Amino acid sequence: MRIDKKEITLNDSKKILQYSLSNDNGIEIKILTLGGIITDIIVPDSKGISENIVIGWNDLNDYMDDTSYAGAIVGRNSGRIADGKIKIGEKVYEITKNQGLNTLHGGSEGFNKKVWNDSIEVNDKEVSLILESSSKDGEEGFPGNIKLRVVYSLNNENEFSINNNGISDKDTILNMTNHSYFNLSGNIKRNILDQRLTVKADKIATIREDSALTGNLIDVKGTPFDFNTSKKVGEDIEKINKQLELANGYDHPWVLTEDRGYNIKLEDDISGRGMEIYTDRKAVVIYSTNFPVDKKLTNGNVESKYDGICFETQNLPIGENYRFIEDSLIREGEEYSTTTVFKFYCI
């Protein structure tokens, strides 16, 4: 196992680093110090052909103004804060509204825009990239100075883990995630509709017309949102359903059931690639690239609808009337720590 790095100068003369984490089984993961962005996850298929299984941009400068958050660390909040307000105790804070009336993924200058400080650790068990940064009191309207630490690790069991940590000097909210778009076909040769998905969840949180949460939960049984038994991503995605219509596809939080083993599984029968996801978070927002951006992928094609699927492991976003805000609250001096593991394999 090893870690390599190279320096990159962006068009605005900003200097960043791109790290490559590699194990002994042909897996390579490339990460920028800009936003902790995962640009590539290169994984062999069942025939030993190594290809990228995440959406990435052909020009690294495209990450600077990327409204799709491809591969990035997301925070302070993940998803939308309904109506751009939070309430802690009796105090209401107005947060930057960067998507209509709502706050999306940390506001206008979220964690995806930061250039993070970097260090590495290499031992017999794994290789790790450690990124550190901070978020100032009042940044985007959020209270509290937060020290942040994100650790990306890869081992020879083909497990890639993301550990998010934070500590604040005031009561505040923190609900981080990673926004990688997966496609197991390799180099985005096909869209994700025929890839088979399993999600261990009995409920989803419903959205309103602007995609913020209503604050209500519904059972997935008998709906297009039931993935407890493996089925193709596209099997029900075009069915007549108000929630699908509002999002133009899947863009909802699934409330994960407490279950031993994986929480989420994605498999592609053609390439033979599979991926299991394990998380200590209560929910996962699954987004099926319903609104592609006008940027060129690493394969040279412009992104299209359904080219990738995000598994944004997190606690429930903050809905209408501050619903679910307790899942995002951290107290002064309390350590915030989350772990999500992606395990890659061949079917």
What is the domain range of residue 172? 2-346
- Indicate if the pLDDT at residue 114 is higher than 90: yes
Reply yes or no on whether 252 is catalytic. Answer: no
Structure tokens at 221: 């049984």
Query: Is the confidence at residue 179, as pLDDT, over 90?
Result: yes
Q: Which residue's entry shows tokens 């069915």?
A: 239
183-207 pLDDT per residue, tens:
999 999 999 999 999 999 999 999 9
Q: What is the pLDDT of residues 201-238, one digit of tens each?
A: 999 999 999 999 999 999 999 999 999 999 999 999 99
- Name the active-site residue from 179, 252, 267, 303: 179
Q: How far apart are CA 53 and CA 274, in angstroms?
A: 11
Q: What confidence tier does 258 reach under pLDDT thresholds 50, 70, 90?
A: confident
Average pLDDT of the segment spanning 93-122: 98
What CATH number is attached to the domain comprising 103?
Answer: 2.70.98.10
Name the catalytic one among 51, 126, 303, 312. 312
Whole-model pTM: value is 0.97
Mean pLDDT of the chain: 98
Q: How much is the average pLDDT of 143-150?
A: 99
Residue 184 and residue 266 in contact, taking contact as beta carbons nearer than 8 Å: yes
The pLDDT value given to residue 285? 99
First vs last Cα of the chain: how many Å apart? Answer: 24
For 2-54, write each residue's pLDDT tens digit: 999 999 999 999 999 999 999 999 999 999 999 999 999 999 999 999 999 99
In the prediction, which pLDDT does 119 show?
99
For the purposes of burial, counting CB atoms within 10 Å of the CB of 238, is it exposed (0-12), middle (13-18) or buried (19 or more)? exposed
Query: For residue 260, what pLDDT is reported?
Result: 79
Q: CA 94 to CA 85: how far, in whole Å?
A: 5
Task: Answer whether residue 288 shows pLDDT above 90.
Answer: yes
Q: What value does the mean pLDDT take over residues 301-309?
A: 98
Number of separate domains in the chain: 1
